[in-house]
Amino acid sequence: MRIAIIGAGNMGGAIARGLAKGTVVQARDITVANPSQAKLDALKADFPDLHVTNDNREAAEGAELVILAVKPELVKSVLRELDLRGGRQILASLAAGLPFEMLAHYVTDREMTMFRIMPNIAISEMASMTLVASRNANARQEQLMLDLFNQMGLAMLVPEEDFDACTSMASCGIAYVLRFLQAMMQAGLEMGIPGDKGLQMVAQVAKGAAELLLNHRQHPALEIYKVCTPGGITIKGINELEHRGFTSAVIEAVKASNVPLRVEEE
């Protein structure tokens, strides 16, 4: 399968590297387009078999899957330049705030197969929680997209109507987890724990907590219960979090970020 990635910024570059490291496609079947050469040179240095170009049309020509990784305000002009054709090409857009209905106005065949993709910043570490929504895609095409992005963490198919809510949990949510870990480090500093040691501790704690949930598929409350012995120190801390409104604050933060971003048409 030939894949074109339009845009080699943070997200486009991370996807190119992730796909090249994976086994679903070969690096030689991936072409990356970007206006500036430096980012393309860096990709080529890491993966010599990748094809790179400054010409978007050249990259998309003959590609079965075109991954659009440009800023939302550039999507309209880039898609009209590419002149994608339904039936033989699939479009996957990473542009936040652009629903399928709007994307359909920028392509020749409005009924072509499309995907909306929303990774999070951990994609650079091959540990993203990536959301995938589809339009006019069959089961084989949906599975292909999941296979591609499961190589870079965990990918999940969601209906487009749930995309914004899921984004607030999976994409924005990583910032809330990091903010919690930062607070843990601050507490450690106050108690005399050096920052470098505190960082390692809280990062491993977060990794371990995630592994417990992913491996056991149990509600977090069940894992918390195992740690909270009667009269112990952990339950004292849990109760203090609740007294301070921790759960409510997290819920309200996630809900606050569930605001649809919409790029206005010209």
The reported pLDDT for the residue numbered 87 is 80
Q: Can you list the residues of the chain whose pLDDT is less than 70?
A: 260-266
CA 28 to chain centre: 24
The reported pLDDT for the residue numbered 256 is 94
Q: State pTM to two decimals.
A: 0.91
Q: Does domain 3-162 have CATH number 3.40.640.10?
A: no
Where are the domain boundaries for CATH 1.10.3730.10 in the chain? 173-256
Strand order of the sheet with strand 153-157? 51-53, 30-33, 3-6, 65-68, 90-93, 114-118, 128-135, 153-157
Architecture of domain 173-256: Orthogonal Bundle (1.10)
Where are the domain boundaries for CATH 3.40.50.720 in the chain? 3-162
Contact 41, 61 (CB under 8 A): no
- H or E element: which one contains 189? helix 173-190
The reported pLDDT for the residue numbered 263 is 60
The reported pLDDT for the residue numbered 262 is 65
In this structure, what are the phi and psi dihedrals at residue 112, rounded to the nearest 5 degrees? Answer: -65, 160
Token pair for 240: 């203090």
CA 66 to chain centre: 17
The reported pLDDT for the residue numbered 108 is 86
- H or E element: which one contains 4? strand 3-6
Strands (E), 43-138: 51-53, 65-68, 90-93, 114-118, 128-135
Q: Calculate what percentage of the chain has a pLDDT beyond 70.
A: 97
Encoded amino acid at 128, one letter: S
- H or E element: which one contains 72? helix 72-82
